[in-house]
Structure formats: C-alpha cells, structure tokens
Amino acid sequence: MILNQRRALYILYVAFFLGLILLILLANMFFLSRQTQKDFIKMFWRQNGETAEFIALSATQRIEAKSLSTHKAHEFLKALAQELDQSGLPSGLAALAPIEAFRVHKDLEGILLYDDQGQLVLQTPEVPTRAPSRSLSLAWPRGKNGEVLVLTLGENKRQELVEQEALQALAQDLQDKKIADYVSFVGPNLHILAHTDRKKLGLLEDNEGIESSLKDKTTYYYRKEDQYEAVHPFKLGPDRWGVLVVGLDSSQFDTIYEDILRNTAVFSGWVMLLAFLVAVAVWRFQSGYNYKIEQMQRQLNENAKLVSLGNLAAGVAHEIRNPLNSISITMQRLQLEYSPAEPPEAVEEYSFLTDLMKDEVKRINRIVTDFLGFSKPYAPRMARFSANQWAQHCYDLFSPTAKERGVDLQLKVPAQDQEVEADQEKLTQVLLNLLGNAMDASNPGTVLKLESRFAAQQWELKVIDQGAGIGKDKLAQIFDIYYTTKPTGTGLGLYICRKIVQAHNGTIELTPNPDRGMTASLILPKLSELG
C-alpha cells in the first residue's frame, strides 16, 4: 500500500515536472517567435532603408551627370507636335485657345504658329520669357494648309526629361542587378518619373507615405501585401525633391521565419523527449529503489516475526511430540490387542475410528515437524549425486501414493545424465512437497508429470499437473508464510521449500499452464556430465 502511494505520488511529481517543462518550452517558443519576427522586420527595414539611401544617392548623381541630347528633345517635341496636330486643331487665330491649353498642360515654354507665307499668325504666351533655343525647339508642318507649328521646351520640362531619362536608366540597372523587388521614382507632382515596370510610367503613385516624405523629408516604412516598402526622399535638383519607393519581397523573410519556428519546435520537441526519457529513467530507478525498500521492510518485519514464532514453535513442538508418541503407541496396541467382540458393524467402526485417530496423529506430527524445520536455521549439506538416479528415487517414493489416488505419474529425464551438487535429503523434501501439492490438486484419471532437464549451467525440475490451478490474485502470496489454499494446510510447506531452494542459490516458481493446471519449476546450478 505504501509502495503504491509512493508510486502515485512520484507519477504526480513527474507529470508536474513534464508539464512545467512543456509550459516553459511553449512560452519560450512564443516569445522567441515574437522577438524573431520583430528582429527580422527591423532587419528588413534597415536593409530596405540602406538600399533606398544608396539608390537615392545614385539617382541624384545620375541626374547631375545627365544632360538632355538634341535628338531626345526633338523626339519629345515631335511626339507633342503630332499629338497637337491630330487633335482637330483649327487654322489661324481660332487655334489660339486650344494651343494655349495644350502648352500649359504639357508645360512647354512656348508655341508659335506660322502661315504658308511664313508670317507669324499667333504665339503663346504672347510675351515670351526668353528667346527660343534651336536645341530646344522644333518646327512641325501642319498637313495641307501649309501652316507650321514651332514648339519650345521650358526649363522645367527640360529638367523633367533629364530626370526621367537618368532615373529610368538607373531603374533598368537596378532591375538587371536585382537590387530590389521593384523601384519607383516619383516626382513632386506625385506622378511616376521612372519605374522598373515601364507600364507604370506617368501614373499617379498612391502610396500614403509619399506626401509625408516630400513634406518632412523623412523615410517611412510599410508592410504592403508581400513586400516591405521604404519611402525615401531624394534630391532631383537644387529646389526639387522627389520620392523613391523601394520594395523588397517578404517571402524570403517568411521562409526564414518559418524555418526558425520549425527548428525551434523541433529543438523543443527533442528537449521535451529528453526530459520525458530522463523522467522515465528516474521513475524506473525510483520505483526499483522504492520496491527494494519495501522488500527490505517486509523482510525485516518477517524476520522479526519469524524469530519470535520460531522460538515459540520450537518449545511447543518439543512439548507436543512426546504426548503424540504416547498416543500413537497406544493406538497401535488398541488395534493389535483389543477389538469389539460383536457385532461386525462395531468392529468395522472401531477399526475406522482407530485408523482415523492414527491419521490425525500423523498429521499433527507432520505439522510439528514443519514447525521444527521452520524454526531452525538452515545450511545445506552439499554432496554430489546423479540427477537422473535421484529423480528416479523420488518417482519410486511417490508412485504408490499416485496409484492409490488414481493419478498417472510420469517421469521424464534426459538421455545424458548430469552430476549435481546439493543437499539430497532436503531437495527430496522439496520435490515430495511439490508432488504432494500437485497430487492434492489432481483428479483421478489425470496425468501428473515429473520432468528433469538441463540447459547451459542450469538444472531444471518441473512438476506439471492438470488440476484446477491457482488464481492470479493468489499466486503473488503463494510463498508467504502461513498462506495456504488447502483447508488443512499449515502455510509452511512452500515457504520452507523456497527457503531450501534459495539456500542452494536456486529459484522456485509456480506458473499457470496454457490449458489447465499449474507448473512448479525448480532451477538449480549443475556441475558436469556423467559418462
């Protein structure tokens, strides 16, 4: 009971220990994942910011080093002239209003219209700010009416073209080198000047941080779908500022973050498994230790009990034996010298009663003998003898009893005899006790087997019966002192048998047979083969 309580208490401690470790590991995983996520976000932002600063510096340098070529300016003006001419522009002074609107929309410095005679028909603005430069102007003939349009670039537009050309070249280089997932250069008017995706040129950038970055010249960071964006201001010119938007793909971060979480979970799992194995090992060690303590305590209690009972048994046995001898002698004389004269039934009853008294005296004497054997310390008197001859001798001793009970006693010994060393007299007592128990459990017509065999350095004896067997709940107590399953048993027989076998460095056990009955196994060390 105490051992079971200790086991239950220790299991409770182990469960608490494992639960505490699991809680610590889960908390560690949670806080580690949160901190790792924050660190990775900071790392990406820092990397994105550094990339944005590098690109902004490169953009400013590219713009400062870039100049607008005449060919580029003419190409741009040619495209504008075609657009204006194909817009349904009327002839003469009627074209003033649409031309002025077009000039303002396209941010041109001026537009002149000449007739087929080369005479100036109109100009916008009416007062030019400066004389047009040949490198920044383009004359474009209008269809069949002979009119000529002269378009002149303004300084702002020229600078914008320089910026677009320089920034688009930079965006292309960045895309080729895979510096970022995407890069967008936005002008003061929030329109895209250059982009790694050319389809977005001229579109309005909708990032919420662009206006704030233009206003306070500060870098902003955003998580946008699967990208981390850095919005960084940069200088387009002496008094012009733009905004650079750099996007980095966050899938790489997600992959690394998932790997860290997976590795952390695997590591935590291994730690938990190790803790579990350690707990199981400690539990098994503690269980064995507790079991040994319990066994030692039982042994101490049993020894104390045996000492007192042994002393009492020795005294009582000696006192009882003398009267028993007198009773036995008297019963023999009564049977031999006296008998009822008549009637025959009285003679028969007289014989029955005297036989019964003799049997009971024998039984009492056997009990007294058991008590005397129990009370005495035992040291085996070792001698060498043939195992097969000894088994045959025990078989011969018990055969008459088996025949009287109607039980078929069978002996099986190995062909090659072996020499053993033991206390032959006490070993005979053990085997006859086992045969007697098996006989008491056997019914007439059943088989009782006595088998002897050798394996390695062991000698094994088996007594196999076909009786009713012993329940599993009783097997654990079958060798305890005073425990018996017989109505007339003393509970000392098997206890003394185990005591004798253990003195021979052997083992004895009872096991149920697969079909019915029990097997008593006696295992002792052997010596050598006999020729």
User: Along the 531 residues of the chain, how does pLDDT read in single tens digits?
Assistant: 455 666 677 677 777 777 777 777 777 767 776 776 677 667 766 776 777 788 888 878 877 777 767 777 788 888 888 888 887 778 778 888 888 888 888 778 888 888 888 888 888 887 665 555 544 788 888 876 788 888 888 777 777 777 778 888 888 888 888 877 888 888 888 888 888 888 888 888 777 778 888 888 888 877 776 777 888 888 887 778 888 888 877 676 677 767 777 777 777 778 777 877 877 777 777 777 777 777 787 777 766 766 666 666 666 666 777 777 777 787 777 777 776 766 777 777 777 777 777 777 776 776 677 666 655 666 788 888 898 999 998 888 888 888 888 989 999 998 888 888 888 888 888 888 888 888 888 889 899 899 998 887 888 999 999 888 887 777 777 777 666 777 666 677 788 888 888 888 889 888 888 888 889 888 888 654 444
Rounded to an integer, what distance in angstroms lies between the CA atom of residue 436 and that of residue 508?
A: 16
Q: Which residues pair with 409 in a beta bridge?
A: 448
Rounded to an integer, what distance in angstroms lies between the CA atom of residue 309 and that of residue 372?
A: 11
313, 371 Cβ separation under 8 angstroms: yes
Tell me how far apart the 2 most distant CA atoms of the chain are, in Å: 184
Rounded to an integer, what distance in angstroms lies between the CA atom of residue 347 and that of residue 339?
A: 7
Q: What are phi and psi of 55, to 5 degrees?
A: -70, -40
111, 99 Cβ separation under 8 angstroms: yes
Q: Residue 136, Cβ neighbours under 10 Å: how many?
A: 21
Residue in the structure block whose two tokens are 């990339």: 51
Rounded to an integer, what distance in angstroms lies between the CA atom of residue 39 and that of residue 238?
A: 38
CA neighbor of 244 nearest in space, from 214, 202, 204: 214
CA neighbor of 519 nearest in space, from 453, 470, 455: 470
**Amino acid symbol at 443:** N
**Amino acid symbol at 20:** L
Q: Which residues pair with 140 in a beta bridge?
A: 149
Q: Which residues pair with 147 in a beta bridge?
A: 142
Rounded to an integer, what distance in angstroms lies between the CA atom of residue 261 and that of residue 28?
A: 11
Q: Where are the alpha helices (DSSP H) in 66-154?
A: 70-85, 96-106
Rounded to an integer, what distance in angstroms lies between the CA atom of residue 425 and that of residue 414?
A: 22
Q: Which CATH number fits domain 378-529: 3.30.565.10, 3.40.50.150, 3.30.1150.10, 3.30.2010.10?
A: 3.30.565.10
What's the pTM? 0.41
